């Protein structure tokens, strides 16, 4: 399954407090696919606690801007990144991205593999810059 066509949203998985159990096999496979991608992992690392624009992520991860945008969409769709608007007083507004996941835990249980995704609370509001 390609990353660009994720048919689900990990945020809608079964919730337990702030963590969610991903129990659908297709969702687990897609999550693993995102996490095994070096570029996606670099983006997730770069957005740990700090929101960045696509061009800032492109530079930080040494990726072409087109590749960065192609990686951002499935990460946002999967709920691993949040996307919000950075409002500039100059009138140039930019989308910025921040990681929404603290950790992913894989366990082997009697019923099979269990994947638990722990989300952090990331504000979805716009930020204002000078």
- Tens digit of each residue's pLDDT (9 = 90 or more) over 4-30: 444 444 444 443 337 788 877 888 888
What tens digit of pLDDT does each residue of 75-113 get?
998 889 999 988 878 878 889 999 999 888 988 888 877
Instruction: Supply the pLDDT for residue 13.
Output: 44
- Quick one: average pLDDT of 60-88? 92
Q: Which two tokens stand for residue 117?
A: 């995704």
User: Angle formed by the axes of helices 38-46 and 65-77, to 10°?
Assistant: 80
Which fold does the domain 19-119 belong to in CATH? Arc Repressor Mutant, subunit A (1.10.10)
What pLDDT was estimated at residue 129?
Answer: 44
pLDDT reported for residue 72: 96
Q: Calculate mean pLDDT across residues 62-86.
A: 93
Helix H, strand E, coil C: the string for 12-46 is HCEEECCEEEECCHHHHHHHHHHHHCHHHHHHHHH
What would the mean pLDDT of 38-45 be, rounded to a whole number? Answer: 96
Longest dimension (CA), the chain: 57
- pLDDT of residue 65 exceeding 80: yes
Confidence (pTM): 0.75
Q: Residue ranges of the domains in the chain?
A: 19-119
């Amino acid at each position: 399954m390609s990353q660009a066509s994720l048919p689900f949203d990990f945020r809608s998985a079964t919730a337990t407090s702030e963590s969610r159990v991903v129990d659908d096999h297709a969702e687990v496979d897609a999550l693993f696919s995102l996490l095994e991608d070096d570029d996606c992992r670099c983006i997730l690392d770069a957005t740990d606690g700090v929101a960045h624009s696509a061009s800032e992520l492109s530079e930080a991860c040494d990726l072409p801007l087109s590749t960065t945008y192609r990686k951002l969409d499935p990460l946002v769709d999967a709920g691993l990144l949040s996307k919000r608007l950075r409002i500039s007083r100059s009138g140039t507004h930019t989308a910025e991205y921040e990681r929404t996941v603290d950790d992913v835990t894989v366990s082997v249980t009697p019923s099979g593999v269990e994947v638990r995704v722990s989300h952090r609370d990331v504000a979805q509001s716009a930020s204002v810059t000078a």
